[in-house]
Structure 1
Amino acid sequence: MNIVERAKSILLSPRPTWEVIDTEQTDTASLYTGYLMILAAIPAVCGFIGMSIIGMGMFGVSMRVPFLAGLANMLVSYVLSLVGVYVLAVLIDLLAPRFGGVSSRIQALKVAVYASTAAMLGGVFALLPMLAMLSVLTGLYSVYLLYAGLPILMKSAREKSVAYTAVVIVAAIVLGLIVGAINALFMPRGAGPWAAGDTPVVSVRTPGGEVTIDGAGVAAMQRKMEEAARSMEKASAQKDPAAMAASTRDATAAAAGMLGGGKALGAQTLKAALPEQLGDLARTGFEVQDGAALGLPTSQASADYGSGNRTVHVEIMDLGGLGAMAAAAFGLAQGEKEDQHHAEKTWQEGGRILHESYAKDGSSAEHKMALKNGVLVSISADNMDIAALRNVASQLDIAALERLQRPAN
């Protein structure tokens, strides 16, 4: 799935896109790693840049959230937004029968994830706090996306769509208040260690591991952020869109670097991990994407392999400085479920987070890994059972991928 095309289609052609999404086979890990984790970073990172780097002013007085407080707030808001979408999906699922719908956790998660697209993209307005209220408009469009998607994916009665949407929105508002209250714990209250010269270590534990912001080197990174902010102000004054975009990318990369230690791995480096042959399966095509996805530092390489009716798709993605958060967020979905047709499991092993999903008739299988360095590896197959897919996965040099170090900013 191309995240840019999917975001564009759900925004511009919601109803036809919901019809497509309705029939797609997917799982929790795919929705998170392939879509939500990237989009959720936009409001988190842009909010940090807007509040801690650009700042806000009124009546001649300007204010910036202290640097480390802003970083902690960015991390917490990012993780909580991922959790919040899942909780909202649970509520959508539980409410479906009350409005003539069919209960389905994965369908509910699709609705919650894709309906949030407009609101997540609206997070870009947080770059300039004075424009933050415009995000309300994108939030309202997410309400419309929710309204359009519920009867299609949850099979709810169309005459009850307004009521169903209203109840879900009330639940979302309550969730938002809870998330806001937790975020407030990371905002400064007068002088304290956040504003002091000493730079503490900030860490947040999640089921997928611990993400740490080390105070060492913060001063140098802060100078980069301030330089980018000055460039943004200059470009804005000169009404130079190209310079504004370039300085915004610099600030975003610096913010992401605080969490993951640098830029994304080069896409050609990732491509080198995709051999021309996997067992008896020949590589039939590949795709490489380098640079930014929706303004965030990412790189991706994927390849298709096939022999007869057996096909395998391998995708390697690096979210750059957000890699640590990606691995931590991936672990939020740990658990397992199984029925007579399908089995799925997400667990930790050797410092990695692993996910498997497969049809018991051998028609399809999927194996995903979040490596210790934050690189994400996804291997999916058609007409292949899980044992055969594991054998294919073992032929990739995962250890070499895990040893890769991101370039410094």
Structure 2
Amino acid sequence: MNLIERAKSILLQPKDTWVTIEAESTDAATLYTRYAMILAAVPAVCGFIGMSLIGFGGFGVTIRVPFVSGLVNMVVSYVLSLVGIFVLGLIIDALASTFGGQKNSIQALKVAVYASTAAMLGGVFSLLPALSMLGLLAALYSIYLLYTGLPALMKNAPEKSVVYTVVVIIAAIVMGVVIGAVSALFLPRGGAMFGRADAPAITMNTPGGKVSIDTAGLEAAGKKMEEAARKMEEAQKSQDPAAIAAAAGDAAKAAAGALGGGQAIAAQSLKAALPEKLAGLPRTGFDVQDGAALGLPTSQASAQYGSDDKQVRLEIVDIGGLGQMAVMAMGMAQGEKEDPTSAEKTWQEGGRTLHQRYEKDGSHAEFKTILKNGLVVSIEGDNMGVKDLRGFMSQVDLNALESLQRKGKS
């Protein structure tokens, strides 16, 4: 299956393409590693670039989602979108007989994966938040793809396709609300990508050099996700809340494992890198979060420093093997921007990606670096310049952080 040709055909000739898809022999691992995982990265990465790097606004005012929050949101939304597709497949399969169709878990998953094509590709409009409405229109087209795919693959009575589609959409909306609530729990407070399992799926040339994402183990992870889906279906039949919760957790862990690169560095190791004082400013508080409990490849440690009118926040975040996605995103956005009130710049230096932004009146400044191992270290402060922050950053042992190793996937 050629991904580009399949995406093109499902968008332009859905009815004929559903007939082809219905006859194909496949499994969940293949559907994920050769299609869903690739397209799901589009809205995740583009959304991060658009909201955290480019920003949105008007009348000379630009608003950005905090950099670190944007990175973690990119990872969490990517993982949960993959889980969401699995759950959508379960919903489609569970409702099939209600509308005169035939229950078939793999056919249902096909519908969920391929009907999501328009919505996932529409994520490219997230690069420019002003065009996000076009992404919504693309998502609406996925409803039509779902409508045409259900009778072809689930064999439901044609006259019941509209109601079947509506019920699935309502269930998907509820699922989206739940996923949104779950993702919010893991956001820091404050301020062809996959291919064969034995080789990197993609190497991108960025202004900072080539970026490759290793896909070793994706097939095995896909099988774990398939097993997780089976457990979720069994739990649903048993109506046991504890079993349903456990199965959902397994699905999240399996999806996180599919991202590659092993676990995130322990949050306590990141906390150890937070100095007691920063340029004479005492540490007034800290916050440590770890996504390991749900298998999410994220960890974060931050601290606040302050005295009188000077306030500084230092944050260290690891997004596991997806650190390379951060490098790729920043590499795509390198450059300089300046207006009458502020200036910013993104560049590479010594193998690290650096980003700075400051207000010209000295009211606020930010300085961030992505280390070679994918750790993101950021510092921001009020009533100081970016040169001050770069001096503060020199007091953080970046070399020690860069030497930290991640554990392999369990």
TM category (shorter chain) comes to: 0.5 to 0.7
Contact kept, 8 Å, 1:267 with 1:299, in 2: the verdict is yes
User: What secondary structure does 1:315 align onto?
Assistant: strand
Equivalent position of 1:41 in the other structure: 78
Per the normalisation by structure 1, the TM-score is 0.59
Q: Partners in 2 of 1:297 and 1:320 — Cα distance? A: 5
User: What secondary structure does 1:259 align onto?
Assistant: coil
User: What secondary structure does 2:305 align onto?
Assistant: strand
Equivalent position of 1:212 in the other structure: 213
Change (3 A) 1:351 1:403: same
Equivalent position of 1:18 in the other structure: none
User: What secondary structure does 2:291 align onto?
Assistant: strand
Contact kept, 8 Å, 2:260 with 2:322, in 1: the verdict is yes
Equivalent position of 2:169 in the other structure: 133
1:277 shift after superposition: 1.4
Equivalent position of 1:202 in the other structure: 201
Q: Partners in 1 of 2:119 and 2:374 — Cα distance? A: 19
Unpaired runs of 5+ residues, structure 2, are: 1-58, 141-153, 155-164, 178-191
Equivalent position of 1:27 in the other structure: 64
Contact kept, 8 Å, 1:51 with 1:64, in 2: the verdict is no
Q: Partners in 1 of 2:228 and 2:289 — Cα distance? A: 25
Q: Partners in 2 of 1:225 and 1:53 — Cα distance? A: 13
1:25 shift after superposition: 7.8
Unpaired runs of 5+ residues, structure 1, are: 1-21, 93-110, 120-128, 142-181, 187-192
1:34 shift after superposition: 5.4
Q: Partners in 2 of 1:112 and 1:274 — Cα distance? A: 42
Contact kept, 8 Å, 2:80 with 2:252, in 1: the verdict is no
Q: Partners in 1 of 2:287 and 2:262 — Cα distance? A: 23
Q: Partners in 2 of 1:25 and 1:276 — Cα distance? A: 34
Say if 2:337 is the partner of 1:337: yes
Contact kept, 8 Å, 1:327 with 1:374, in 2: the verdict is yes
After the TM superposition, which residues 232-311 of structure 1 pair with which residues of structure 2 at under 5 Å, given as runs? 232-291=232-291, 296-311=296-311
Q: Partners in 2 of 1:30 and 1:375 — Cα distance? A: 13
User: What secondary structure does 1:236 align onto?
Assistant: helix
Residues 117-152 of structure 1 show CA distances to partners (whole Å, capped at 9, x for unaligned) of x99xxxxxxxxx9986237747999xxxxxxxxxxx
Equivalent position of 2:102 in the other structure: 59
Say if 2:386 is the partner of 1:391: no
Change (3 A) 1:251 1:294: closer
1:349 shift after superposition: 2.9
User: What secondary structure does 1:384 align onto?
Assistant: coil
RMSD: 4.7
Equivalent position of 2:376 in the other structure: 376
User: What secondary structure does 1:387 align onto?
Assistant: helix
Q: Partners in 1 of 2:198 and 2:233 — Cα distance? A: 27
Change (3 A) 1:212 1:321: closer
1:66 shift after superposition: 10
1:299 shift after superposition: 1.8
- Equivalent pairs counted in the alignment come to 301
Residues 347-378 of structure 1 show CA distances to partners (whole Å, capped at 9, x for unaligned) of 23333322100122322210112223222222
Residues 305-345 of structure 1 show CA distances to partners (whole Å, capped at 9, x for unaligned) of 12332111011122234433333234443322112331111
User: What secondary structure does 2:263 align onto?
Assistant: coil
Contact kept, 8 Å, 2:224 with 2:254, in 1: the verdict is yes
Contact kept, 8 Å, 1:301 with 1:316, in 2: the verdict is yes
**Structure 1 residue identity aligned to 2:233:** E
**Structure 1 residue identity aligned to 2:170:** L
Q: Partners in 2 of 1:358 and 1:35 — Cα distance? A: 23
Per the normalisation by structure 2, the TM-score is 0.58
Contact kept, 8 Å, 1:253 with 1:296, in 2: the verdict is yes
Say if 2:127 is the partner of 1:86: yes
Q: Partners in 2 of 1:375 and 1:77 — Cα distance? A: 30
Equivalent position of 1:326 in the other structure: 326
1:296 shift after superposition: 4.1
Q: Partners in 2 of 1:261 and 1:279 — Cα distance? A: 35
User: What secondary structure does 2:259 align onto?
Assistant: helix
Change (3 A) 1:319 1:275: same
Residues 280-299 of structure 1 show CA distances to partners (whole Å, capped at 9, x for unaligned) of 12111111122279984422
Equivalent position of 2:230 in the other structure: 230
**Structure 1 residue identity aligned to 2:126:** V
Equivalent position of 2:5 in the other structure: none
Q: Partners in 1 of 2:122 and 2:348 — Cα distance? A: 22
Q: Partners in 2 of 1:139 and 1:84 — Cα distance? A: 23
Contact kept, 8 Å, 2:264 with 2:298, in 1: the verdict is yes
After the TM superposition, which residues 164-203 of structure 1 pair with which residues of structure 2 at under 5 Å, given as runs? 201-203=200-202
**Structure 2 residue identity aligned to 1:203:** I
Contact kept, 8 Å, 2:214 with 2:261, in 1: the verdict is no
User: What secondary structure does 1:367 align onto?
Assistant: strand
User: What secondary structure does 2:254 align onto?
Assistant: helix
**Structure 2 residue identity aligned to 1:250:** D
32-41 vs 129-138, greater mean Cα deviation: 129-138
Residues 223-270 of structure 1 show CA distances to partners (whole Å, capped at 9, x for unaligned) of 433432333233222223333233333332333333332222222111
28-37 vs 50-59, greater mean Cα deviation: 50-59
After the TM superposition, which residues 74-113 of structure 1 pair with which residues of structure 2 at under 5 Å, given as runs? 83-87=124-128, 89-91=129-131
Q: Partners in 2 of 1:40 and 1:377 — Cα distance? A: 21
Contact kept, 8 Å, 1:49 with 1:255, in 2: the verdict is no
Matched-pair identity in %:
45
